[in-house]
Amino acid sequence: MTVTDSSQIPVDRAEIERAGQEHFDRIVAADSRIEPRDWMPEGYRKTLTRQISQHAHSEIIGMQPEANWITRAPSLKRKAILMAKVQDEAGHGLYLYSAAETLGTPRRELNQQLLHGRAKYSSIFNYPARTWADMGAIGWLVDGAAIANQVPLCRCSYGPYGRAMVRVCKEESFHQRQGWEILHALSHGTPAQKQMAQDAVDRLYAPALMMFGPPDSDSSNSDQSMAWNIKRFSNDELRQRFVDMIVPQAEALGLTLPDPDLKWNEERGHYDFGPLDWDEFWRVVKGGGPLNAQRMQRRREAHAEGAWVREAAEAYAAKHTTTTTALIGD
Ligand SMILES: [Fe+2]
Ligand SMILES: [Fe+2]
């Protein structure tokens, strides 16, 4: 028998693609997981790389509004809790960049896309955090909307993303709880504190509802993402779930949600709510929000300030590689 060089074996690319697609379709139909080394359609890889990296960018940019309040937290306990929360968000960014990298695009490249304005992040973080009560409203509404979005992602067909979401969601529920508790303390405080809590909810309620993305009628990528088991519910379904969840929570807080059309619909078994300002949403997405420029400038500064850490890590890795090579021989 002649042993041939493996590069000489004829490979039928079309055959490999066909077998890969069949395997992929079987996994998706069985509601099982695709893993990094499995064959996957190019569109699936691209969609996930975009979604996971944008999610990672959102976690990292999302640290800014709350980090601004760490030095102004009203007590040592509140400061420690807020610091832990902001660090959790950094951790979420790290899991997510790692998950995105398994699809083949290095983190350095994903980061460049953000720094050069080629990648988006969640628009909610382009709004300012004006008072301490915003720490409560961000935790309750923004982390609350994130949970509603992310719990179904725990069952995402792409293994590394789904598994990252399980841990992220556990931490997000703490975040929502601590936000609710800040608002509860304020709404049971002095009239001025209660007003501060109400103002924060008034400002952040509509942007939080827009976090689920445009209405289903305007959402172009949804159907394909649902067919691939990346997305499990439509934007409008998730928004409805969120509204149904927060109405009783607002009542328990003694705060009002700023929507005159909000009322229980017995027939539908859901709360009806008024229209959202989608022109504002698109304006903020396209860079015209109150703080888009400031958030990106701060991110670029932080990236530049962190250059020495990356250089030190690379020098250490290079030294380690040289030492290992010297020990085991080349
Ligand atoms: Fe997070
Ligand atoms: Fe969070």
Which ligand has its closest atom nearest to the C-alpha of 66? 2
User: What φ, ψ does residue 44 adopt, rounded to 5°?
Assistant: -65, -45
* Dist. CA 308 → ligand 2 center (Å): 28
* Structure confidence by residue, pLDDT tens digits, 174-208: 999 999 999 999 999 999 999 999 999 999 999 99
What six digits make up the tokens of 9? 């074996």
**Is 325's pLDDT higher than 70?**
no
Rounded Cα gap, residues 278 and 115, in angstroms:
26
**Is 11's pLDDT higher than 90?**
no
Quote the crossing angle between the two packed helices 235-253 and 191-210, to the nearest 10°. 170
* Dist. CA 130 → ligand 2 center (Å): 19
Rounded Cα gap, residues 305 and 320, in angstroms:
25
Which residue in 208, 91, 53 sits closest to 139, CA to CA? Answer: 208
* Dist. CA 181 → ligand 2 center (Å): 15
CATH class entry, domain 18-275: mainly alpha
Q: What is the CA radius of gyration of the chain?
A: 23
For range 277-293, the mean pLDDT: 94
* Dist. CA 123 → ligand 2 center (Å): 15
Rounded Cα gap, residues 183 and 187, in angstroms:
6
Q: Would you place residue 2 in the very low, low, confident or very high pLDDT band (cuts 50, 70, 90)?
A: very low
How are beta strands 270-272 and 263-265 bridged, if at all?
antiparallel
Residues lining ligand 2 (ion), CB within 5 A?
143, 172, 175
Please answer whether residues 208 and 142 qualify as being in contact, where contact means their C-beta atoms are separated by less than 8 angstroms.
yes
* Dist. CA 25 → ligand 2 center (Å): 34
* Structure confidence by residue, pLDDT tens digits, 103-162: 999 999 999 999 999 999 999 999 999 999 999 999 999 999 999 999 999 999 999 999
* Dist. CA 248 → ligand 1 center (Å): 24
Q: Supply the pTM of this predicted model.
A: 0.91
% of the chain with per-residue pLDDT over 70: 94
**Is 12's pLDDT higher than 90?**
no
* Dist. CA 286 → ligand 2 center (Å): 24
Count of residues in the chain: 330
Look up tokens 């508790």; give the residue.
181
Q: For residue 237, how far is the Cα from the chain centroid?
A: 18
Q: What is the pLDDT of residue 328?
A: 57
